[in-house]
Amino acid sequence: MSGDRKVTIVEVGPRDGLQNEKNIVSTEDKLKLIRLLADAGLSRIEVTAFVSPRWVPQMADHDAVMRRTPAREGLIRSVLVPNDKGAIAAIAAGADELAVFTSASETFASRNINCTIAESLERFVPVISLARSHGIPVRGYVSCAVDCPYEGEIAPDAVAIVSSQLMDLGCHEISVAETIGRGLPERVSLMLERVLDRVPAPMVACHFHDTSGRARANVDVALDWGIATFDSSAGGLGGCPYAPGAAGNIGTGVIISHLMQRGYATGIDSNILQLAEEFALSLRNGCNSGN
């Protein structure tokens, strides 16, 4: 039984959830969504990405979003950065945590971040050095931790190797991402078994997509392996332009409800979360509210 075990949710909706929406979401609406999510009790929110507006137009207002997201006691405002340039800007804007991203698939790395896995890790060295000098933690993402849209099944050992390399570089947490939602629970279990041979469970998070309706079953597998941190997105928004057919991330309300049914504590106010999710979905539909 889960007892009083606490599970932490990392809310990725304002970044991963919105980044591929075709209708540009206003800065004010992004800030309102972040505020609602924080009001609901989410203590870790990925608020934006310091990436090139040429490649991700939806994140072009990253500096304004970061600077205008108010600091709150107990709230970690995280931002995704691709390199040291992004890290410098994110730190200057007041980020509480940086996140870097690579893949367990060479083809996906090439298509998504235009480099090899090894090259991506090299890019992270100055990012982590900068963050360390400012006392800021760095989180690492490993995409395609179970399947790749181009290569198919990914070997669990490949995920374990990249995860341990991120840990060795200095990442305080590794989020293994089931990017395209095909992962069978049995294969998720095999992947986690290998990863946990190299990385302690408290340093591992899971990021599931619900393309095939298996996200909750995969959450259960991760819980059984002792994972206590999960990524989710308000309203289930998200997906990846380089992962054809990848539906949204598991919805924050969905995972909170599932965890509560299993007896886990999350510290989230479900009523305020529902307001946040309804607002997130209205952004997808292009219904901007202003503030």
**Residues noted as catalytic:** 240
- Facing residues of 146 across strands? none
Task: Report the sign of the C-alpha dihedral through residues 234, 240, 243, 244, in that order.
Answer: positive
Give CA–CA dist 86/74, Å, rounded.
24
Q: What are the start-end ranges of the H helices in the chain? A: 27-39, 62-68, 84-93, 106-113, 117-133, 156-169, 185-198, 215-224, 252-261, 270-284
Enumerate the β-bridge partners of residue 152: 148
Closest Cα to residue 176, out of 142, 138, 226?
142
Please give the Cα distance from 273 to 239 (Å, whole number): 21
Q: Do 139 and 97 touch, CB atoms closer than 8 A? A: yes
Nearest to 141 by CA among 124, 116, 122, 119: 124
Measured between alpha carbons, how far is 10 from 23 in angstroms, rounded to an integer? 24
Strands 152-153 and 147-148: antiparallel
CB 157 within 8 A of CB 193: no
Q: How many other CB atoms are there within 10 angstroms of residue 53's CB atom? A: 11
